[in-house]
Amino acid sequence: MEIRLYDTLTRRKVALDPVEPGRASMYVCGPTVYDRAHIGNARPAVVFDVLFRLLRHTYGEANVTYVRNVTDVDDKINARARASGRPIGEITAETTRWYHEDMAALGVLRPTVEPRATEHVAEMIAMIALLIERGHAYVAEGHVLFAVASYPGYGRLARRSLEDMRAGARVDVAPYKRDPMDFVLWKPSDPDTPGWDSPWGRGRPGWHIECSAMARRHLGGTFDVHGGGIDLAFPHHENELAQSACAHPDEGFARIWMHNGMLNVEGEKMSKSLGNFFTVRDLLDRGVPGEVIRFVLLSTHYSQPLDWTERRVAEARRTLVRWRAFAGQSEPAPIPDSEFIDALVDDLNTPKAITSLYRLLVMGDRRAFSASAHILGLLTPSLGGWESTEISDLRLNNRIMRAVAARAMAREERNFALADAIRNALVLAGIEVNDKPEGYTQWELKAEFDPTKIENVEALIVREPVFPGTDVRVIPSFMTDDEPNVSTGGGGTK
């Protein structure tokens, strides 16, 4: 099974060819821990969690190394500490715990390794020293800066020329920079700011150097996939690529660069000034199940912009309630559905994979449905937040749908005696059945509905209501705005 992923650097899909055969490695830029994760922060966490799950399915759990860093030294953290009067360590510990709790609520697995920047300063200092030695960095006024002009490949990832980037640079460029595009590797710290001793004085690392140093420390000089949001492609990932290539020119760093698209809210960029900014915790506290949040984040291809809307949330909730009702307590199949996996190995096409889950539901294949959904991190026991009545009501809903589908099957096979018997049993249970001229059947519950009589209907059904090779299609209620429908071939799908 070949996994193909879109590589931002080459602008094409490429086959994942692991550096170490039979083992896969991935580095994803993690959180800067100074505040709650907003919904945009959650998208890469969920997207690359699905890739992590797919890699573990492909290579085996023990043969995948996933590194996601924690940035716990940053000027935003320092500013939060000054404003609150709280110790930096207390803030970063609390915020890291929040991040873990919120991502767990979305079904995100913990990575194999979660390195903290503050624990890898020695590796960063060593890499900076190597860049200075090789003529790619210089010391100026207590700072160490990367000399962008020393690396001819700068701008490859973002597809920008150095001249264009210089022209767009801000006019208030620091006077100690030789070139407006040079970026900080090390900066001095005052007595009230976190700092470490270095050959260039007491200071702290710049943002970009930490990922280069930690990726090399935990994955080696060349690894398979580097991921993150598209907002990180420039300058963060561009700078990572440059400094890593210059410090260790004989190593390849990341073979594939993957970036997820941005997240908007109701068609607009998420912004506190627009009043459409919210965190994962805000949504959870409003009663939105983490599984619903996850589903919405996977409903659009990872590489495309995602528009978060209340309608999407409502549709996702209806879908997942029905999916959970259908799956019940079924034991997952040993392997997921092949069409589902085909969708994921083709550049992590989660919308197509979700469509495959609809097909499995229609076929009534609970085991393959559950096994496949688990690869997406859906329908897992750890994802809570559901009202038990929602699930039980939908389980009843699905029992009725199967009965109505069985009647439609009997009619198509011209077994009118069985079709009439099922209809009569439905009516006795208080379920009105109406065959529409457009070609589908609609049902509704009457006031005298008695759920205990559904067993009488099911006793008439001697096989599954939908079979491959027929034209009978169940149209689940979550695919319409009306009651559940059953199409009997050639008819409208409402």
In 410-476 the beta strands, taken as DSSP E runs, fall at: 431-435, 440-445, 473-475
Q: How far apart are CA 386 and CA 295, in angstroms?
A: 14
- 3-class secondary structure, 22: coil
Q: Which residues contact 367 (CB under 8 A, 6 or more apart)?
A: 330, 331, 332, 333
Token reading at 323: 């999916």
Interacting residues of 146 by C-beta distance below 8 A, sequence separation 6+? 131, 136, 137, 182, 183, 184, 185, 239, 242, 243, 246
Residue at 65 is within a domain: yes
Q: Are residues 248 and 274 in the same domain?
A: no
Helix 338-345, helix 366-375: angle, nearest 10: 20
Listed residue (55, 1, 4) closest to 27, CA to CA: 55
Specify if 205 maps to a domain.
Answer: yes
Residue 255 sits in the same domain as residue 288: no
Conformational region of residue 490, where left means phi above 0, alpha means psi within -120 to 50, and beta covers everything else: left
396 in a structural domain: no
Which residue range(s) make up the domain with 276? Answer: 264-375
Q: How far apart are CA 433 and CA 443, in angstroms?
A: 5
* Chain segment 367-407, per-residue pLDDT in tens: 899 999 999 999 987 776 666 566 566 667 777 878 888 88
Give how far Cα 282 sits from Cα of 279, 286, 287, 293, 365, Å. 5, 6, 9, 11, 36
For residue 323, give every residue at least 6 positions away whose Cβ sits within 8 Å of its Cβ, in sequence order, or none.
357, 361, 369, 373, 378, 379
Question: Do 228 and 295 sit in the same domain of this protein?
Answer: no
- pLDDT score recorded for residue 440: 67
User: How many structural domains is the chain composed of?
Assistant: 3
User: CA 484, CA 494: separation in Å to the nearest integer?
Assistant: 10
Give yes or no for a contact between 270 and 263, defined as CB atoms under 8 angstroms apart: yes
Q: In this structure, is residue 51 part of a structural domain?
A: yes
Residue 298 pLDDT = 97
Domain boundary among 212, 232, 260: 260
Tokens of 446: 């009457």
Mark the ranges of the chain whose per-residue pLDDT is less than 50.
463-494
User: Whole-number mean pLDDT of the chain?
Assistant: 87
What's the gap between Cα 408 and its chain centre? 39
Same domain, 73 and 202: yes
Cβ-count burial 216-255 (b if 16+ within 10 Å, e if not): bbbbeebbbbbbbbbebbebbbbbbbbbbbbbbeeeebbb
In a domain, 390, yes or no: no
Check whether residue 200 and residue 272 sit in a common domain: no
Same domain for 412 and 352? no
Contact in structure between 315 and 354 (CB atoms under 8 Å): no
Within a domain: residue 269?
yes
Instruction: Characterize the bridge pairing of strands 143-146 and 183-188.
Output: antiparallel
How far apart (Å, rounded) are the C-alpha atoms in residues 106 and 29? Answer: 18
- Asked which of 220, 243, 260 is the last residue of a domain, the reply is 260
3-state DSSP assignment of residue 419: helix
Render 376-417 in DSSP notation, one character per residue. TT-S-TT-----HHHHHHHHHHHHHHHHHHHHHHHHHTT-HH
Give residue 41's pLDDT: 96
Q: What are phi and psi of 372, to 5 degrees?
A: -70, -45
Q: Which pair of structure tokens corresponds to residue 61?
A: 């759990």
Same domain, 70 and 185: yes
Whether residues 201 and 213 share a domain: the answer is yes
Beta carbons of 366 and 328 less than 8 angstroms apart = yes
- 389 located within any domain: no
C-alpha–C-alpha distance, residues 412 and 419, integer Å: 9
Cα dihedral angle (41, 261, 251, 210), rounded to 10 degrees? -20
Last residue of a domain, one of 202, 227, 260: 260
Q: What is the pTM of this model?
A: 0.82
Residues 111 and 189 reside in one and the same domain: yes
